[in-house]
Amino acid sequence: MRPRKLVWQLYIIFILTMLVPAAMLAWYTTVSFRDFFLDNTVDGLTEQAHQIGSHMEGYIGNSDRQVIDSLCKVLAKGVPTRFTVIALDGTVLGDSERDPASMENHRNRMEIIAAFSGKTGISERFSHTLGQTMIYVAVPIYHNGTRSGIIRTSLSTAFIQRELTRMYRHIALGLFMLLLIAALVSYVVSRSISQPINIIKIGAQRFSSGDFSTKLPPAGCEEIDQLSAVLNEMAMHLRTSINGITEQRNRLSSVLSSMAEGVIAVDTEHRIIAINNAAVQLFGLKEVPGIGTWIGEVLRYTKINDYISDISDSGRERSGETIVVGDESDADTTERLLQLHGNALCDGEGKTIGVLVVINDVTRLKRLETMRSDFVANVSHELRTPLTSVKGFVETLLSGALEDKEESRRFLHIIARQVDRLSTIVEDLLALSRIEEEAQSHTPDFVVTSIADILDNVQQTCSAKAEAKKIVIERQCPDDLRASLEPALIEEALINLCDNAINYSPDNATVQLAVSADHQSNELTFQVTDHGPGIAAKYHERIFERFYRVDKARSRKLGGTGLGLSIVKHIAMVHGGSVSVRSAPGSGSTFIITIPLQRDNSKEVVE
């Protein structure tokens, strides 16, 4: 059942509080008035009975019934009282309204019985003779000190009822007026009490919705004013607390959002209570999972879920690694190596409430570590081979081969070639180190220069090797194209690419050297295309690593150090660009360098 409003509850209570005592007072008043009227009527009837008795005491016993009856009727003229004279045996001797002969014996009437005993008899009952309710008063009559009969006076209660009815009307009217006044006063009082409470309710609803700008006004009642003051103080504390919590939450959210590490926090039921964008990206999720989502629905990796369960069960700090599969369209991110560090979340009382896991993507670090290890191994291998060869031939010469001039000359030529190879490797390593240093220091000397002049130098440098294999270097470049770059580095990169193209192209082939500019996107693109054996897609990324060779035997036979493409890659990075390759087995290769076309604060070459 829907509860009633306070104003109506108070209204009903006030109405009942006023109406019940008023009704009781009215009932008590009517009863008192009725008793008062009855007592006065009885007293009057008793007085009249004594007066009639004084007139009748000489007639009873000495006169016949007709004299007494006539006397009763004469005395009753002009008064509403009925007089009845009764003998000691109960026989009616006279009556002011009826014929005594037709009336039955009254000896057994209550008031008569009381009068026979010498008392004043009083009775109220319905008179069958008159057909109405009557009040009877009977007193004994004495003659010469001896009881000679009984005088009974009676009066209809209709007279009393009329008076009482008139009085009841006045009481009812007064009660009705009192009820109207009580209703009005009760409503006003109820409203005066409920209205401030209603204002407090509205204010509390605003507080619950987060609106603390409005203060509750005083109501003029001490208790309600105290309640309003307490609620206003509570609202102020709530606003301060909520602002503090919101600020703390925003700070925490900002910290989590700005972290490069992924962070996942779950409760004891493995439902997410916090996750940052880094974790979403690390696991390749399409969207941020909602708070309260079961972690198993988000991360479908058994090893990670078991890892979280182990921390939750043991409450101990743990570290681990796992591999997750990323976007298969990106070969570089197909698999990620993630390092996990987890610990139990505890509340202020030290009770475990969940698990916190911090995730680091160590794929690149692992790859760099592998590359560094491979680099050391490759450098050692590349240097050991010529050094071993030189050492062997030197030892051969020292053991007596110097006497044979032809053999000595052949051995010395071999030693010279190996020394040249060592020198080339060292020079490439130094060049690579220099380029990396420039990339890290961000101090390359960019100048605006003619691209055609750079291509002329490249052609001249590579022309001898190209003519030896009857290879034609075709050039495609606008004569007026100028760009902001470091000419020496770009020239070195193009020479490396053209040298590789000539080495891997068959005789009588063509090498294309093309340059294009996109002024809208501010990009300058160099393309070197050969007609060699091509490179499989799985090697496209690795060929730019130091000393990496797809065909090691052929590369060494052609005199390559395995550092040329790595140098090209770092030159592109120095210019804020990139290098890539389009190739397939049997279809040749196209190496593409893309760098910015124009830069701010570049110097102009003076020609």
Q: Write down how long the chain is.
A: 607
Interior angle at CA 316, CA 311 and CA 318, nearest 5? 70
What number of CA atoms fall less than 13 Å from residue 577's CA on the CB side? Answer: 27
* The pairing of beta strand 589-596 with beta strand 578-583: antiparallel
Nearest to 163 by CA among 37, 39, 79, 45: 37
Tokens standing for residue 90: 């109960």
pLDDT tens digits along 197-254: 777 778 877 877 777 777 778 777 777 778 788 888 888 888 888 888 888 888 877 8
Strand order in the sheet with 132-143: 92-95, 82-86, 146-156, 132-143, 121-127
What's the farthest any 2 CA atoms get from each other in the chain?
Answer: 207
Q: Quick one: pLDDT at residue 137?
A: 92
More confident residue, 373 or 492: 492
526 pLDDT more than 90: yes
CB 289 within 8 A of CB 275: yes
DSSP 8-state code for residue 350: S
* SS3 label, residue 46: helix
CATH architecture of structural domain 7-163: 2-Layer Sandwich (3.30)
pLDDT tens digits along 3-14: 666 667 777 777
pLDDT tens digits along 64-76: 778 888 888 888 8
* SS3 label, residue 545: coil
* Long-range pairs of 411-414 with CB within 8 A, sequence gap ≥ 24: 414/389
Tokens standing for residue 424: 């080339």
Q: How much is the mean pLDDT over the chain?
A: 80
The CATH code of domain 444-604 reads 3.30.565.10
510 pLDDT more than 70: yes
Q: Quick one: pLDDT at residue 528?
A: 92
Nearest to 565 by CA among 584, 577, 579: 579
340 pLDDT more than 80: yes
d(CA 41, CA 477): 143
Backbone angles phi, psi at 514, to 5 degrees: -120, 145
CATH architecture of structural domain 259-361: 2-Layer Sandwich (3.30)
Find tokens 């005491």 and name the residue.
Answer: 57
**pTM of the predicted protein model:** 0.43
Percent of the chain with pLDDT over 70: 85
Mean pLDDT of 176-198: 79
How far separated are the first and last CA of the chain, in Å rounded?
99
Q: Quick one: pLDDT at residue 551?
A: 57
Mean pLDDT of 352-372: 80
Give me the helices (H) in 399-483, please: 405-441, 451-468
d(CA 440, CA 513): 29
Find the range with the poorest average confidence among 84-98, 249-263, 385-399: 385-399
DSSP 8-state code for residue 397: H
Tokens standing for residue 270: 């493995």
518 pLDDT more than 80: yes
CATH architecture of structural domain 367-425: Orthogonal Bundle (1.10)
pLDDT tens digits along 8-34: 777 777 778 777 888 888 888 888 888
* SS3 label, residue 523: strand
CB 562 within 8 A of CB 544: no
Q: Are both 7-163 and 444-604 of the same fold?
A: no
Nearest to 179 by CA among 15, 17, 12, 25: 15
Q: Quick one: pLDDT at residue 594?
A: 92
pLDDT tens digits along 416-431: 776 766 776 676 666 6
In the chain, domain spans: 7-163, 259-361, 367-425, 444-604
